[in-house]
């Protein structure tokens, strides 16, 4: 009798649990529709997070505070090994507060990274910051405009700019990773679309099962993004070489890594490229634009203004140093101006001006872009485009500093830049100046004017020497200095040859 009663109670409890679980979803819907809950239920959350947030109730805030204080204390003492775990717990306790995620992502990428001396150590922490926002924060707050913007900010500012001494390492590491992922400067959208969408679909490919078995036998994960790298174990390389399914496997791994590791949607990338590109996706600016684009789509009010700013600022930066030249000598990526982007950047500014007509900062940014674009286009021998930009500049912003002919304007601007203290000039600006002169020299040399070519060449070398003289510290030079003149010249000559060929092709026959 007693046993039967126990069974009855257990059965009743199970029935109640079942009933409660069936009622839960409609109740949540009712709460949402009547606006009586402070926040929507968590989507996509693992059971542990859902349980923690529900079971701890209001007390989870206290627990988060305690963990937060511990994190601050440890960070102060330089004991950072726990911070990833603490950030994970704190954010999981408050999964819906976007500010908590953005603070911790920023803290890891900015404040903790600089507690290290080695660029590789710093880069690991920048990645932790990106990972926290991209892989976790956006999972619990999909479509949160601020979080998307903050993620873009790390790409635009921390990696893209040169305020951190390790920025070259960040750029190089990110570019290598993207190069491996895309097998070039940008994704092959049609190949991605044609790639097997699932593992099962790939395994239907002839030879796929044998290839997977061969790679697994070498102790390697056949679906890992590592498979796209060049330093594969010999057994894996052999298996890949001899299989008809290799192309499909790599395409599948690429598609999967893009979506699951980097959270990049090829359809959105294509939209971004159509609007502003073609972008070099090995560069952080392209990724800043991608996340800003996504933020703009879901944002409202000021979120749109800041996303627009990120887009045109990143485009401007891509214009200034959005072309990667791989040094044949060192294998390093050398960023240099991507003058082809000028019309796209101009359009982005114009779109932003049209959308936020009363925003003075956007007008100032637009004017600065036009001024710099005129100079850069001129020095890269795009005289017609430079003249067009100058006319636009003079029409819109009739200031004293913008007056004069193209030559007068550029000469005056060069003089202004020349009066700048070279100690304060960044490596990127110096590189741009030197390469543009080498480019001019190469163009004039190809055009058969060796005298003018020699003049530009001499100015490039003189600028390099002067810049070098102002930065004698070998450590500083190693971190943020510019490459040797021979390397910059090689990059400029390659570009000049392309430009010259294009000019020749356009000439009337």
Partner 1 sequence: MRPVLAIAVITIRSAIRSRIMLCLIALLVAIVAGLPLTVKGDGTAAGYAQIVIGYTLGLSGVLLAMATLWGGCAAISSEIADKQIQMLVSKPVGRGQIWLGKWAGLMAMNALLLGIAVGSTQVLLKWSPGGAGLSPEERGKLFHSVLVARREVRPVLPDVEGPAAARFAELEKAGKIPADADPDDAMDMVRRSLRVEAGAIGPGQGRTWQIEMPEPPAPGSSLTLRFKFSAATLGSNPMRGVWIVGPPSDPSSYRAAVTNAPAAYGELAIPGDAVKSATTLTLSYANIDDTGTTVFFEADDCIAVMLPAGGFGGNLVRGALVVLAQLAFLAALGVTAGTLFSLPVAAFMSIFVMMLLLSAGFIQDMSTKRSFFGRPQQASTAQKAANAGLRGLYGAMAILTRPMDFDAPWSDIATGRLVNWQRVGKSGAVNVVLYGGLVALLGIYVFNRREVALPSS
Residue 490 neighbours by CB under 8 Å, 6+ apart: 325, 327, 328
> How many whole angstroms separate alpha carbon 136 and alpha carbon 231?
30
Binding characters for partner 1, 458-487, by CB under 8 A (x = yes): --------------xx-x---x--------
> How many whole angstroms separate alpha carbon 185 and alpha carbon 169?
18
* Contacting residue, 22, 34, 35, 77, with partner 1 by CB under 8 A: 77
The least distance separating partner 1 from the CB of residue 117, rounded to whole angstroms, comes to 5
* Contacting residue, 60, 128, 437, 489, with partner 1 by CB under 8 A: 128
* Contacting residue, 31, 70, 96, 124, with partner 1 by CB under 8 A: 124
* Contacting residue, 79, 199, 403, 469, with partner 1 by CB under 8 A: 79
Nearer to partner 1, 128 or 296 (CB): 128
The least distance separating partner 1 from the CB of residue 445, rounded to whole angstroms, comes to 38
Which span sits near partner 1 by CB under 8 A: 108-116, 215-223, 254-262, 288-296? 108-116
Q: Residue 348 — φ and ψ, nearest 5°? A: -60, -40
Beta bridge partners of 89: none
Which span sits near partner 1 by CB under 8 A: 25-33, 113-121, 252-260, 450-458? 113-121
> How many whole angstroms separate alpha carbon 389 and alpha carbon 412?
16
CA torsion sign for 435, 371, 288, 187 is negative
Nearer to partner 1, 297 or 471 (CB): 471
Residue 140 near partner 1 by CB under 8 A: no
Tokens of 507: 């000439």
Q: What is the largest CA-CA distance in the chain?
A: 111
First to last CA, the chain: 106
Residue 163 near partner 1 by CB under 8 A: yes
Residue the block writes with tokens 């993004």: 225
Angle formed at CA 43 by CA 38 and CA 46, multiple of 5 degrees: 115
Residue 109 near partner 1 by CB under 8 A: no
Which span sits near partner 1 by CB under 8 A: 53-61, 161-169, 386-394, 457-465? 161-169
* Contacting residue, 88, 210, 392, 417, with partner 1 by CB under 8 A: 88
* Contacting residue, 31, 63, 82, 188, with partner 1 by CB under 8 A: 82
Nearer to partner 1, 113 or 445 (CB): 113
* Contacting residue, 68, 97, 101, 125, with partner 1 by CB under 8 A: 125
Residue 421 near partner 1 by CB under 8 A: no
Residue 368's CB is within 10 A of a number of other CB atoms, namely 13
What own/partner pairs with CB < 8 Å and gap ≥ 24 does 417-425 have?
Answer: 421/470, 422/466, 422/467, 422/469, 422/470, 423/470, 423/471, 425/467, 425/470
Judge whether 351 and 388 are in contact, CB under 8 Å: no
* Contacting residue, 23, 25, 66, 115, with partner 1 by CB under 8 A: 115
Q: Enumerate binding residues for partner 1 (CB under 8 A).
A: 77-85, 88, 114-117, 124-125, 128, 163-165, 472-473, 475, 479
């Amino acid at each position: 009798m007693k046993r039967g009663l126990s069974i009855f109670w257990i059965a009743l409890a199970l029935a109640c649990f079942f009933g409660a679980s069936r009622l839960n979803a409609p109740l949540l819907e009712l709460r949402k529709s009547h606006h009586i809950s402070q926040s929507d239920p968590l989507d996509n959350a693992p059971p542990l997070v859902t349980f923690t947030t529900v079971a701890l109730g209001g007390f989870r805030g206290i627990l988060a505070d305690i963990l937060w204080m511990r994190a601050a204390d440890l960070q102060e003492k330089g004991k950072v090994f726990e911070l990833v775990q603490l950030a994970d717990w704190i954010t999981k306790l408050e999964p819906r507060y976007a500010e908590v995620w953005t603070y911790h992502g920023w803290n890891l990428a900015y404040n903790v990274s600089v507690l290290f001396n080695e660029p590789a150590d710093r880069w690991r922490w920048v990645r932790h910051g990106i990972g926290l926002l991209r892989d976790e924060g956006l999972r619990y707050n999909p479509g949160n405009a601020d979080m998307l913007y903050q993620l873009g900010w790390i790409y635009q500012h921390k990696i893209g700019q040169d305020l951190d001494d390790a920025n070259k390492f960040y750029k190089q590491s990110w570019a290598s990773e993207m190069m491996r992922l895309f097998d070039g400067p940008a994704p092959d959208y049609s190949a991605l679309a044609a790639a097997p969408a699932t593992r099962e679909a790939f395994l239907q490919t002839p030879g796929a099962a044998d290839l997977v078995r061969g790679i697994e036998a070498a102790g390697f994960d056949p679906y890992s993004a590592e498979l796209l790298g060049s330093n594969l174990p010999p057994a894996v390389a052999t298996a890949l070489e001899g299989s008809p399914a290799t192309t499909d496997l790599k395409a599948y791994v690429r598609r999967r890594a893009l979506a699951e590791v980097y959270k990049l949607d090829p359809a959105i990338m294509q939209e971004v490229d159509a609007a502003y590109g073609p972008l070099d996706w090995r560069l952080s600016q392209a990724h800043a634009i991608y996340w800003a684009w996504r933020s703009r789509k879901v944002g409202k009010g000021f979120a749109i203004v800041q996303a627009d700013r990120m887009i045109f600022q990143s485009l401007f930066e891509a214009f200034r140093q959005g072309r990667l030249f791989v040094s044949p000598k060192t294998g390093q990526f050398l960023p240099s101006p991507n003058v082809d982007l000028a019309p796209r950047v101009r359009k982005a500014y114009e779109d932003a001006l049209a959308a936020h007509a009363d925003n003075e900062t956007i007008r100032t940014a637009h004017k600065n872009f036009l001024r710099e674009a005129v100079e850069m286009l001129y020095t890269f021998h795009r005289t017609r485009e430079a003249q067009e930009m100058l006319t636009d500049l003079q029409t819109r912003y009739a200031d004293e500093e913008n007056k004069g002919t193209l030559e007068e304007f550029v000469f005056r601007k060069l003089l202004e830049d020349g009066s700048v203290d070279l100690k304060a000039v960044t490596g990127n600006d110096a590189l741009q100046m030197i390469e543009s002169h080498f480019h001019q020299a190469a163009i004039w040399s190809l055009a058969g004017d060796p005298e003018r070519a020699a003049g530009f060449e001499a100015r490039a070398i003189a600028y390099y020497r002067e810049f070098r003289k102002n930065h004698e510290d070998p450590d500083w030079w190693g971190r943020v200095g510019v490459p040797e003149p021979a390397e910059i010249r090689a990059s400029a000559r390659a570009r000049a040859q392309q430009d010259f060929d294009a000019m020749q092709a356009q000439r009337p026959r």
